[in-house]
Chain A
Amino acid sequence: MMELRIILLIVIGLIAIWFGWRVFRTDSMVRSAFSLLASMVAVGAMFLVMEAEFLGVLQIMMMGTEMSIMAIFMMMYMMDPGGLGEMDMTHQEKPSIIVAVIFGGISLAVILLTKWGDIIAEAPTPAQQNHDLGIEVMKRSMMIFESAGFSILTAMVAALATALIIHNNQIEKN
């Protein structure tokens, strides 16, 4: 069972990495938005493999909507949404690659050199997990959960306030 899980993790992980790489390597903006969607859905599938059913389904549903919205915004704001002009859309590419590789090397060393302790073979059943997560949300982490809700409200107000056109304290009607 564990071997099957490792194989599934590797295969789905490679899919996630491949699509994550395609995001920055394609000229078409719609393609890059949907590559990110595929990458995020693969991450959600990895949650499912790791038996976090609630989080996996939540991830797939959230990313499905978020990336579709992102694709629309991409087409609105890109100079060249179809990628036909073959514009170069990168800057400081070499330093970015160096930073990413150095970061990857350091965290690889940390991953491989740390003794992570014993792997626990059995996870709680999905029903048990949902029950316990609900208890956690309503008891110990209630303040955190409420702050998350409040920050969503704040971000909604902030996003609207940023995006609206306001002249002399009056919202422009058009």
Chain B
Amino acid sequence: MVLTVALIIGTILFGIGLYGALSQTNLVMIMMGVELMLGASMLNLVAFWRYLHPEVYSIQMFVLVVMTVMALEAAVGFAIGTQRFRSKGSVESEEAADLKG
């Protein structure tokens, strides 16, 4: 029961993040959606650790790795945004058709 509650909350958060990452036009808003998705996956991992395998610490290690990924995503994403804003004056994905290969 308690595990199910935690997993359902994680699923809803992930769904909101997925919607945001797909539907927003601004780079920073897309990154926010990705952050929400990563947060939801961390929630799932912690729930699995606590209620199924409290003695296995590689799950906590995995949560630390996901947190690192969140920070890295923000750093590299903002760097790309900075460069894009400098050269084109906007970070809207609608105006980034010139990136099409």
Task: Give the B-binding residues of A (Cβ under 8 A).
Answer: 2, 5-6, 9-10, 13-14, 16-17, 20-21, 23-24, 29, 32-33, 36, 39-40, 43, 46-47, 50-52, 54-55, 58-59, 62, 66, 69-70, 73-74, 76-79, 89-93, 95-97, 99-101, 103-104, 107-108, 111-112, 116-117, 119-120, 122-124, 129, 132-133, 135-137, 140-141, 144-145, 148, 151-152, 155-156, 158-160, 162-163, 165
Contacts and interface: CB of A to CB of B under 8 A. Distances in A.
A137 B64 CA distance: 10
Contacts of B67: 58-59, 62
Contacts of B97: none
Interface in B14-60: 14-20, 22-29, 31-33, 35-36, 39-40, 42-43, 46-47, 49-55, 57-58, 60
Please tell me the size bucket of the interface on B. Answer: 35 or more
Nearest to B74: A66
Contacts of A46: 6, 9, 43, 46
A29 B33 CA distance: 14
A112 B1 CA distance: 10
30 contacts: A6-B2, A9-B9, A23-B32, A23-B36, A24-B33, A33-B32, A43-B40, A46-B6, A46-B46, A47-B43, A77-B27, A79-B90, A89-B29, A91-B23, A97-B23, A99-B22, A103-B18, A104-B11, A104-B15, A116-B4, A119-B51, A119-B52, A120-B51, A120-B52, A123-B54, A124-B54, A151-B72, A152-B68, A159-B75, A163-B78
B20 to A, nearest CB: 5
A141 B9 contact: no
Nearest to B55: A124
Chain A at the B interface: SS class: helix
Interface string B60-79: 11011101101110111011
